[in-house]
A and B are shown apart, each in its own frame.
Chain A
Amino acid sequence: MDSQQVMHPQRPVGIIGYGSYVPMYRLPSTEVARVWHGGGKGPIREKAVAGLDEDTATISIEAARNALARAEIDPAEIRAVWVGSESHPYAVKPTSTIVAEAIGTTPYHLAADLEFACKAGTEALQAAIGLVGSGMAEYALAIGADTAQGRPGDALEYTASSGGTAFIVGPADEALATLSGSLSYVTDTPDFWRRAYQHYPSHGGRFTGEPAYFHHIQAAAEGILAGLQARPEDFAYAIFHQPNVKFPQRVARRLGFTQEQLEPGLLSNVIGNTYAGAAITGFSATLDVAQPGERILVVSFGSGAGSDAFVWEVTEALAERRSKAPLVSDYIRRRVEIDYALYARYRHKLLVK
């Protein structure tokens, strides 16, 4: 692989603040299995479910406030607010302007919503790296968040969940993790889609595995490792998109990463698949425990299809700043189990008019 496929900003950049949010309701897989499949277990233990008054905007707002608390900058210095999601509350009207107004960045900045299934959040992160790395901006905010819906009874209903993570990208000398390089790999692959005006997505069944998830993540990961002349053992941690538990474990094994490297960032068993929030919330949970000098590989995957890969190196600034906002584990611990009936109410699956 030609190392020119790895992207580098004109000036060094990094993450100066990060923060996540996970709603407190949990639907155990056994509940979905009980209602639709006559009992048994599902692919994960349980998934996070948004409450009645939560959506991608409110999730993004809390994640962004946590990122701001860690960045310790004036929100008015942020020049872009980008929100990646496949569950924006409005069909027409940006989520990003709601988030921006709530955290006080308005009005002098770019704002837009991005869409690319589960990689919309890392797409926003790539754009933020470009804006700050070119010198056009000191700071840019990138968010990935979703309140994902699976069709009742479909395999995706076990895992489609809610949550999100925000990053503030800034100059490397202020960063708690600096960027070593990034790479993106996309093809036109129809593994999963949702047509306009449809409430639930459709997918290609078994077609979603090898040619979609595995091919794109492996190509992106192998590309960035080759380009940066790095090997799996050079990393303390690796995070891969996590639609379930098995896929990220299998792709890690194929690439030569160990279960230990995955451990802190593999959250799908306890929160489900937060779609645009999935890989980056795993990254956030990994930053919650990482030490200075450690390297972290992050590879997202979005259906349609594509992957973004990033290599980060943790700085001395992380330990002190991570204490300024809740950890991902604080949100995971805040847990209220619900049954399928309450879930159906919270996720608007009941027809009341």
Chain B
Amino acid sequence: MSGKVAHDWRLKGQRYRLEGEECPHCRVKIFPPRDICPECHKPAKEPYRLSGRGEVYTYSTVNNAPGGFEEYTPYTVALVKLEEGPMITAQLTDVTPENVKIGMPVEMVTRKLRAQGDEGTIIYGYKFRPVLQA
């Protein structure tokens, strides 16, 4: 496995399932996993799967995308505040940039993040979309 492919493979728990951690001492939810609690600074390795629900905290529109993402421009990257507490940076999807608002309720979906050219792997991971209206 090449270095890049191996790196993407190790991230699949958090990318595919929003797997973070819960601090056993102060119960803070942690994402992405870092094994040390950002609040009480004690070891925190208990896996915890986040619900994927949250709201847009801030956002910005990307018109000049970095390599691998050009295909998707223009797109919106948001800082999403998850209902369990952690802030997470992610691309928004199924939305036009002018319809994004601060405080907008969003939910996690799994989408294509990018493909490594025509011959490399396809990277899937979390994005957020406006909550589906039932």
A209 at the interface (CB under 8 A from B): no
Q: Contacting A102 at CB < 8 Å: which of B16, B71, B133?
A: B16
Closest to A102 in B: B16
A178 to chain B, nearest CB (A): 27
Check if B134 sits within 8 Å of A330, measured CB to CB: yes
A52 at the interface (CB under 8 A from B): yes
A334 at the interface (CB under 8 A from B): yes
* B residues 106-121 touching A (CB-CB < 8 Å): 109-113
> Chain B contacts of A62 at CB under 8 A?
109-110
A54 at the interface (CB under 8 A from B): yes
B127 to chain A, nearest CB (A): 7
B59 at the interface (CB under 8 A from A): no
A24 at the interface (CB under 8 A from B): yes
A13 at the interface (CB under 8 A from B): no
> Chain A contacts of B134 at CB under 8 A?
326-327, 330
A292 at the interface (CB under 8 A from B): no
B27 at the interface (CB under 8 A from A): no
- Contact-residue bracket for chain B: 10 to 19
A333 at the interface (CB under 8 A from B): yes
Contact code string B84-109 (vs A, CB < 8 Å = 1, else 0): 00000000011000000000000001
CA distance A280 to B111 in the complex (A): 23
Closest to A55 in B: B112
B66 to chain A, nearest CB (A): 16
Check if A334 sits within 8 Å of B132, measured CB to CB: yes
Check if B111 sits within 8 Å of A54, measured CB to CB: yes
CA distance A286 to B133 in the complex (A): 20
Binding site for A on B (CB under 8 A): 12, 16-17, 49, 71-72, 93-94, 109-113, 122, 124, 127, 132-134
- What are the 3 A-B residue pairs with the smallest beta carbon separation, nearest first? A53-B111, A102-B16, A53-B112
Give 12 new A-B contacts, CB below 8 A, not counting A102-B16, A333-B133: A53-B127, A54-B112, A55-B112, A57-B124, A58-B110, A58-B124, A62-B109, A98-B124, A102-B124, A104-B49, A326-B132, A330-B132
